[in-house]
Structure 1
């Protein structure tokens, strides 16, 4: 199905049909009017949903988001290679959407760019950017990783790398070289957009 053929109200109504609430089409319309899109409904904080829908419906929407995250994790594990930014974004976006703080993830890869493991290595990059390069280097040694993809989110909505992001990338690149591993990419995720250091020629 092409994206333009998707009827978000119809999809949300079908989802709400799994509950016993009446007037599901009207509720779906109220949710879309308030949040703007199906994605924003799924990403909305629970407290913002409760005035419109019941706890059962909120739980159902939360489950859909969790299921999507798990599905993307399983899908990426079966992929031959993780060598493009979009694959990484698909893997982590459900988990990172709606976060109010910056979180840093390290995706460890083997010599064929296949997934070994994903670690959340830090939270709040501005004050601790000098710490996690050493931590990631240790993880690479422990898990025999050949390369790393660094991923973090920008809660503010802009994917433009900060000076701190650039310095942290340089620090991690140097740290990995000392153990004969390398940084394959550094990806910043914000809302529906992303920034790849590799694609931008910074790696």
Structure 2
């Protein structure tokens, strides 16, 4: 059934306006972007087919513009529009962490790390260095490893924190295998990092593990002391 024949409150555009974008499924969001179907498929059927053959959504959206343009219902124009929209979203997220604006809640950093690290083929350990008001001083990818491990040196994290004159640090690494659940080794290195940073008066606010789905915040799990706090 064509979308125009759906009940009004179930049509993607009307649902988004009434309930916000979070109320839409991946297929509905993709259909809303595509606008029209192709080759005998209505737009929802086309969206579902794209997700079935090239999904899940993250894997589909990670494709480059030259690959996207070859997919049914896209073509060069829509492929470029989609990549441009994703880049705008990425820049908007980065702008929220620019120096001059204090992070008001920990989810800002979690979203940022998720955007930067998810989908990387190897483990990457990164850090956000913050001033006394939790404004971003710098973002750095400090260590890169293999598909399932990265060697982390607390001394180097301390050195970079002092170089940036940071008052606090939030660190993160990704699990290319998919599961964001922290390992025993992840928790151990977090303790070592916190001890090393405490010696120079720098707070470790959180260690975020990025995988498929929702990232895991060790601060939210209660595995860091003192607990994660944000100052306005």
TM range (shorter): 0.7 to 0.9
Q: Which runs of 5+ in 2 are unaligned?
A: 1-18, 225-232
2:218 is equivalent to residue 197 of structure 1: yes
2:147 is equivalent to residue 128 of structure 1: no
Q: Which runs of 5+ in 1 are unaligned?
A: none
**How far does the alpha carbon of each residue in 1:72-115 deviate from its partner, in whole angstroms, 9 at most, with x for none?**
0112336432552x211222322223211111111111112221
Q: Which residue of 2 aligns with 1:41?
A: 60
Total equivalences in the alignment: 197
Q: Which residue of 2 aligns with 1:165?
A: 186
Of 15, 18, 24, which aligns to 1:6? 24
Contact 1:43 1:97 in 2 (8 A): no
Which region of structure 1 is more displaced relative to structure 2, 23-32 or 162-171?
23-32
Give the TM-score of the pair, scaled to structure 1. Answer: 0.79
Moved over 6 A (4+): 45-48
Give the TM-score of the pair, scaled to structure 2. Answer: 0.71
- CA 1:194 to 1:127, structure 2 compared with 1: closer, same or farther past 3 Å? closer
SS at match of 1:128: coil
Q: Distance in 2 between matches of 1:139 and 1:119?
A: 9
The Cα shift of 1:3 comes to 4.6
2:99 is equivalent to residue 80 of structure 1: no
**How far does the alpha carbon of each residue in 1:135-180 deviate from its partner, in whole angstroms, 9 at most, with x for none?**
2211111111011001111111212211221222122112212221
Contact 2:123 2:150 in 1 (8 A): no
Which of the pair has more CA radius of gyration?
A: 2
